[in-house]
Amino acid sequence: MKQTESIQEFYARVPQANGFDLSVNNAGSGHFNVFERSSCPVISPYSRRDFYKVSLIIGSGKLHYADKWIQIDQPALLFSNPMIPYSWEGESETQDGWFCLFTESFVEPNEKKGFLQNSPLFKTGGNPVFFIDPQQLNELSVIFKKMLSEINSEYAHKYNMLRNYLHLIIHEAMKMRPVAQFEQHGNASSRITSLFLELLERQFPIDTPESALKLKTANDYAQNLSVHVNHLNRSVKEITGKTTTAHIAARIALEAQALLQHTSWNVSEIAYSLGFEYPAYFTNFFKKNTGASPNELRNLIV
The domains of the chain are located at: 4-184, 188-301
Q: Is the pLDDT of residue 6 over 70?
A: yes
Answer yes or no: are the C-beta atoms of 106 and 158 closer than 8 Å. Answer: no
List the strands of the sheet with 61-64, edge to edge: 4-5, 43-49, 86-90, 61-64, 68-72, 183-184
**Residue 180 — pLDDT band, cuts 50, 70, 90?**
low
Each residue of 260-280: pLDDT tens digit? 988 899 999 999 999 998 999
Higher pLDDT, 78 or 93: 78
Question: Considering the chain, what is the average pLDDT of its residues?
Answer: 85
Full-model pTM:
0.67
The fraction of the chain above a pLDDT of 90, given in percent, is 47
Give me the pLDDT at residue 242, please: 93
Which one, of 137, 150, 127, lies nearest residue 97 by Cα?
137
Residues 18-28 pLDDT 10s:
445 565 555 56
For residue 153, the 8-state DSSP code is S
Residue 114 CB burial class (10 angstroms; 0-12, 13-18, ≥19)? exposed
- Answer yes or no: are the C-beta atoms of 40 and 95 closer than 8 Å: yes
Lowest average pLDDT, out of 165-179, 181-195, 218-232, 271-285, goes to 181-195
* More confident call, 1 vs 275: 275
Phi, psi of 39 (to 5 degrees): -110, 20
Give yes or no on whether 4-184 and 188-301 have one common fold.
no
Q: Is 2 a residue whose pLDDT tops 60? A: no
CATH topology for 188-301? Arc Repressor Mutant, subunit A (1.10.10)
For range 136-141, the mean pLDDT: 97
Q: Tell me what the mean pLDDT of segment 8-22 comes to.
A: 66
Q: Can you give the pLDDT at residue 288? A: 94
Query: So what's the pLDDT on residue 47?
Result: 75
Amino acid 268: pLDDT: 94
Buried b (16+ CB within 10 A) or exposed e, 190-220: ebbbebbbebbeebeebeebeeebebeebeb
Sign of CA dihedral 51, 52, 55, 60: positive
Distance of alpha carbon 132 from alpha carbon 136, whole angstroms = 6
- CA distances 270 to 15, 36, 128, Å, are 39, 46, 42
CATH class for the domain made up of 4-184: mainly beta
Task: Kindly state the average pLDDT of the residues 212-227.
Answer: 88
